[in-house]
Amino acid sequence: MLSRLVLGGLLAMLPLGHAALAQPGSTIPLPEPQGQTLLLQSVDRADYGPLAEQFLTQANLAYCGVASMVMVLNSLAVPAPVVAGYGSYRFWTQENVFMPESTRAVLSPELVARQGMTLQELRALLASHGLQARAIHGDRLSQAQFRLLLRSNLREPGDRLLVNYDRKALGQAGGGHISPVAAYHAPTDRVLILDVARYRYPSVWVPLADLWEAIRTTDSTSGRSRGVVVVRRL
C-alpha cells in the first residue's frame, strides 16, 4: 500500500485542470481536498502509483487512446526502443509507440490523428506490443459485473484497465474519450479516471453508475457500444 507521503508526491504530479465540470455535485476532481481524501481512503488503488508516475497529456485532440496506451506500456515496464536525445534511456512516447510495423499495420498515426480509434482498435494496438489485451463492450456488462471487474483489476498491480466512454454521460462537454482508471472508492462507489486531456479536465472521481452508462453508449464509427480494455503483460 502506498504511504501517505508517497501519495502526496504523486498527487502533486497530476494537473489541476482548467475547465469546470458540468455536474460538480456528482464528480469530484482529484486535486481538491475531498478528491485526495477519497484516494487515501481507497483500498482498490494498486494501479494509481505506476500510472501517476507515467501520466502524460494527449498530443492532439484525437490522441486520447494513444496517450493512454503509452501510459500503460511505460507503467508495465514494456521494453521500449531508443528515444532520440535521451541516450541509453528508453521509454515509450506518443511518437515511437507507432514504430513497430505490427502496430502501424493495425492503424497509422495519421489516421488516428484524424479520427481517433474504436475500442477494438485500441485492443489491437495494445496487442501489437505483445500485451494481453481484452476488449469488453459496455452493453455486455451489468453494473455489478463492471464493479467486480474494476475492483479486481485495481487490486492487482500487474494489470491495467482503460475505459472508452462518452463524456456527456458524465456531465462533461465533448464526445467519445479514452483514459485509464486508477482507483475505486467503495464507500462512495466512485471511480478515479486519470484524464489524459489535462488541458481540458482534471483527473476526476465519477460515480460508478455514471461511468457504466458512459461505456454503454454507441460509438458512431464502429456502430457498437464503447467499453473497457483489460491489459496485462504476457
Q: Which domain holds residue 208?
A: 4-233
47 is catalytic: no
Give the active site residue among 44, 159, 166, 195.
195
Sheet of 176-185, strands arranged across: 28-29, 204-207, 190-193, 176-185, 159-166, 227-233, 131-137
Task: Write down the pLDDT at residue 14.
Answer: 52
177 is catalytic: yes
Q: Report the number of distinct structural domains present in the chain.
A: 1
Interatomic CA distance for residues 55 and 194, integer angstroms: 8
**Nearest CA-CA partner of 198 in 3, 5, 31, 46:** 31
Over residues 87-126, the pLDDT tens digits come to 889 999 999 999 999 999 999 999 999 999 999 999 999 9
Give the active site residue among 44, 129, 137, 177.
177
Residue 131 three-state SS: strand
The CATH number linked to 169 is: 3.90.70.30
195 is catalytic: yes
Give the active site residue among 64, 137, 166, 185.
64
Task: Write down the pLDDT at residue 82.
Answer: 86
Over residues 153-169, the pLDDT tens digits come to 999 999 999 999 999 99
